[in-house]
Structure 1
Amino acid sequence: MKKHIHFFIFVLVTTTSIMAQDHTLPLWPNSIPNSQPSEEKEKADKGDILWISKVQEPEIQVFLPPKNISTGQAVIICPGGGYEGLAFDWEGTQISKWLNTKGIAGIVLKYRLPSSASVKVSHEAPLQDAQKAMQLVRENADSWNINKDKVGIIGFSAGGHLASTLGTHLNKEDSVNSRPDFMALIYPVISMKNGITHQGSRNALLGDNPDKELVEQFSNETRVSKETPPTFILHATDDESVPVENSILFYKALKENNIYAEMHIYPEGGHGFSLGNGNPVLESWPKLFCNWLKNIYSEDRQK
Structure 2
Amino acid sequence: MKYNSIVIKVASLLISLHLVGCTTMERTIELWPKDNIPNQKETNIEEVHEQRDILRISKVQKPTLEVFLPENAKANGKAVLIFPGGGYGILAYDWEGTDVARFLADRGIAGIVVKYRLPSDETQTDKHNVPLIDAQRAIKMVRSRAGEWSINKNEIGIIGFSAGGHLASTLGTKYNNRVYESIDEIDKESARPDFMVLMYPVITMGQETHLGSRNNLLGKEPSEKMIQEYSSQFHINSETPPTYLVHAMDDEVVPVANSEYFHSMFNVKATAKSELYLFEKGGHGFGLAQDDPILRKWPINLIDWINSL
Structure 1: which amino acid aligns with 2:300?
K
1:252 to 264, 276, 284: 264
Residue-by-residue CA offset, 1:168-213 (whole Å, 9 max, x unaligned): 014425796101000000000000002x100000000000001111
Instruction: Tell me the equivalent position of 1:22.
Output: 26
Residue-by-residue CA offset, 1:215-243 (whole Å, 9 max, x unaligned): 10000011110010000000000000000
| 2:267 corresponds to 1:267 | no
User: What is the CA-CA distance between 1:86 and the residue it aligns to?
Assistant: 0.1
Residue-by-residue CA offset, 1:94-121 (whole Å, 9 max, x unaligned): 0000001110000000000002621111
| 2:159 corresponds to 1:148 | no
Structure 1 SS opposite 2:73 = helix
CA contact (8 A) 2:60 2:115 kept: yes
Residue-by-residue CA offset, 1:273-298 (whole Å, 9 max, x unaligned): 000111011000011111111221xx
| 2:296 corresponds to 1:292 | no
| 2:80 corresponds to 1:48 | no
TM norm structure 1: 0.91
CA contact (8 A) 2:146 2:152 kept: yes
1:240 to 234, 239, 252: 252
| 2:118 corresponds to 1:118 | no
Identity %: 47
CA contact (8 A) 2:176 2:191 kept: no
- Structure 2 matches for 1:119-268, cutoff 5 A? 119-172=124-177, 177-194=190-207, 196-257=208-269, 258-268=271-281
Structure 1: which amino acid aligns with 2:136?
Q
Structure 2: which amino acid aligns with 1:237?
M
Structure 2: which amino acid aligns with 1:279?
D
Cα distance in structure 2, aligned partners of 1:175 and 1:49? 36
Residue-by-residue CA offset, 1:21-65 (whole Å, 9 max, x unaligned): 110100002310001111211100011100000000001000100
Extract unaligned runs of 5+ from structure 2.
Answer: 1-13, 179-186
CA contact (8 A) 2:20 2:72 kept: no
Structure 2: which amino acid aligns with 1:18?
C
Structure 2: which amino acid aligns with 1:290?
I
Residue-by-residue CA offset, 1:111-152 (whole Å, 9 max, x unaligned): 000026211111010000000000000000000000011000
Cα distance in structure 2, aligned partners of 1:16 and 1:283? 30
CA contact (8 A) 1:75 1:151 kept: yes
Structure 2: which amino acid aligns with 1:95?
V
Structure 2 SS opposite 1:282 = coil
Instruction: Tell me the equivalent position of 1:97.
Output: 102
Structure 2: which amino acid aligns with 1:236?
A
Structure 1: which amino acid aligns with 2:116?
Y
Structure 2: which amino acid aligns with 1:244?
V
TM norm structure 2: 0.89
RMSD after superposition? 1.7
User: What is the CA-CA distance between 1:259 and the residue it aligns to?
Assistant: 2.5
Q: Which moved more, 1:140-149 or 1:165-174?
A: 165-174
Cα distance in structure 1, aligned partners of 2:294 and 2:133? 36
Residue-by-residue CA offset, 1:236-270 (whole Å, 9 max, x unaligned): 00000000000001000111123311110000000
Extract unaligned runs of 5+ from structure 1.
Answer: 1-9, 297-303
Structure 2: which amino acid aligns with 1:291?
D
Q: Rate the CA distance shift 1:47–1:65 in 2: closer, same or farther, 3 A.
A: same
Structure 1: which amino acid aligns with 2:293?
P
User: What is the CA-CA distance between 1:17 and the residue it aligns to?
Assistant: 4.2
User: What is the CA-CA distance between 1:15 and the residue it aligns to?
Assistant: 9.2
Q: Rate the CA distance shift 1:167–1:265 in 2: closer, same or farther, 3 A.
A: same
Structure 2 SS opposite 1:285 = helix
| 2:290 corresponds to 1:277 | yes
- Structure 2 matches for 1:1-80, cutoff 5 A? 17-30=21-34, 31-80=36-85
